Amino acid sequence: MNKYELAAKKIIDGYLKISNNERFFIITDSNSNFPYLLSKACFEIAKSKGIETKMLVQKKIEYGPADKKTIEFLRNLRKGDCLFLCLNGKLGNLYESFKKGFRTYLRVNGVRFATMVGLENMKNEDFVLDLINFDTNKIKSIGERLKKILDEGKEIEIFGKSGTRIKASIEKRRSWFNSGEFWEYGKGGNIPAGDITIPPIEGSVEGVVFADVSVKAGNETLGSKKPIKFVIKDGEIVDISGDDFIKNKIENDLTNFSIINSRQGFDPRAIFRICEIGFGLLPGSPIGVNFIDGKLFGIAGIANGNNYGKGGKNKCRGHRQHLFMLDKIRVDEKTLTLKDLIYKDKELV
């Protein structure tokens, strides 16, 4: 098997554990590059195993409503079905069709799912395929230990190597450790697995983030020689500074989503609100793809925008992640350095 076929087999047999009496639905938006090649490999492997499989190639979407063919495709899902999204762009706005949120729709209807979206200009395909195949049992004890600390904590403070320092309330918020075990009805998440996230209490985040790995604007991963600085007050991004080109890209993206949210009846300031704090756990070095780099050990991130359906109360269109090199974490009176996380179990992998 080639690497695409091996990754496809891991998605089918490992992440989703699809049996012969279940149906498998795949949505992509390309006919040539990484998302299509992986989707096609999943289609072929599933068919070879006797699994009823359907694949839809939709148009590439950055903003705006989902394709009508996609909505019809998704409405055919039923309990026990499995869904794989592998897209250059986005699935598209589904609020009109799924009022409580798309992931909520999948969970309520017992559909297992794995997602990879925003993969335009994918680099280092072999590395990404290796991460999909990574045995997350090797990081399970690290993830479960950090999850326990976060779930029991009331306040978190995060320090980055370039000067990031933010504080937030996480009392009574539950973190999610993405171990890649999407085996029960309604379970699912992003792949590669191997990160842990928590939604802070809305309005509680304060401080400064120096994004020295990358930022996200639209479908683009953007990085610069000097970190992009985000000033956060009362839980919202109130100032951005750094490279003017990147700053303008982020501000235009925020403004665009603010207008979209206003038109759709959401709070236009919701896109500026910090909705998630995340930590990567997988071994490897950044490759310049935001979606992948946020899953790597030693990299942390904040996200602004929607967290509704993931334990938060901030409901809006848009979700953007910005990454920085982590130094240490303080949860209540407990301080954890990277060395503490790695070496309590002697090694990461």
Q: Domains of the chain (ranges plus CATH)?
A: 3-132 (3.40.50), 136-343 (no CATH)
Within 10 A of 300 (CB to CB), how many other CB atoms are there? 23
Residue 67 or residue 254, greater confidence: 254
Question: Looking at beta carbons, which pairs linking 212-215 to residues 24 or more positions away fall under 8 Å?
Answer: 212/160, 212/161, 212/162, 212/324, 212/325, 213/286, 213/293, 213/299, 213/301, 213/323, 213/324, 213/325, 214/286, 214/288, 214/290, 214/293, 214/322, 214/323, 215/246, 215/250, 215/290, 215/320, 215/322, 215/323
The predicted pLDDT at position 110 comes to 95
Could you report the per-residue pLDDT of 115-170, keeping only the tens digit for each?
A: 998 887 777 899 999 999 999 888 888 899 999 999 999 999 999 999 999 999 99
pTM for this prediction: 0.89
Considering the chain, what is the average pLDDT of its residues? 91
| CA atoms within 13 A of residue 288's CA, in its CB half-sphere | 10
Could you report the per-residue pLDDT of 73-123, keeping only the tens digit for each?
A: 999 999 999 999 999 888 887 766 676 678 888 988 999 999 998 887 777
